[in-house]
Amino acid sequence: MSTILHSQEESADRSRPDVLAHVGTNLRRMRQEKDLSQSALAEKSGISRRMIVGLESGEANISLSSLDRLAAALDVSFSEMVRSPDAPDNRRIGTLAWAGAHPDSHATLLGTTPAAREAELWLWSLGEGERYPAEADAGHWHEMLFVIEGTLVVETTEGAHVVEPGDYLIFSSARPYVFSNGSAGNVRFVRNVVF
């Protein structure tokens, strides 16, 4: 399962903040603001208390979809969970939130803007042979992808969609899907998540 970075040392870009430190700090603060115990949040989100304890102490990794579930249980956005607590601009995030096995595979959440709930702007890169499997999102979520370089293959329940540089794809992410690199070299694309 794909996870956000465990520590700054694992990141190829050492100037990036440690996203899990932000998650831990934000999770603890938001949970306490909602007057929820770790056990109550675990029950509400379906995420184990042990995972919540590990996140709050900076000792655990979590999948992006599980982090979405925690955010929903706290009635906050994904971006509120990962942004630096002292960020001066709530729309500009610039947080490295996922890294794959290949050193050229990573996703940076650039920023957000209001939508029905929120819209997220991401910059993704997948190295040769890299795949990113995603769990289904809520029924009203959509993905908007624009390929900058390389060939992106998006596998959905409707089949495989090949997206070449300069082309785009828009689809509902209410069912599981997979991003994969369909070319030699890297594939780079912009991803908007709208919900």
Q: pTM surpassing 0.85?
A: no
**Tell me, what CATH number does 143's domain have?**
2.60.120.10
Domain count, the chain: 2
**Residue 70, class by beta-carbon neighbours within 10 Å (0-12 exposed, 13-18 middle, 19+ buried)?**
buried
Q: What is the pLDDT along the chain (195 residues), one digit of tens a residue?
A: 355 654 434 444 433 346 888 899 999 999 999 999 999 999 999 999 999 999 999 888 888 888 989 999 999 988 888 888 877 666 677 788 888 889 999 888 887 776 777 888 999 999 999 999 998 887 788 899 999 999 999 999 989 999 999 999 999 899 999 999 999 999 999 999 988
Residue 26 sits in the same domain as residue 105: no
Last residue of a domain, one of 82, 112, 134: 82
Sheet containing 187-194: order of strands: 92-99, 106-113, 119-126, 187-194, 142-149, 168-172
Is 9 within a domain? Answer: no
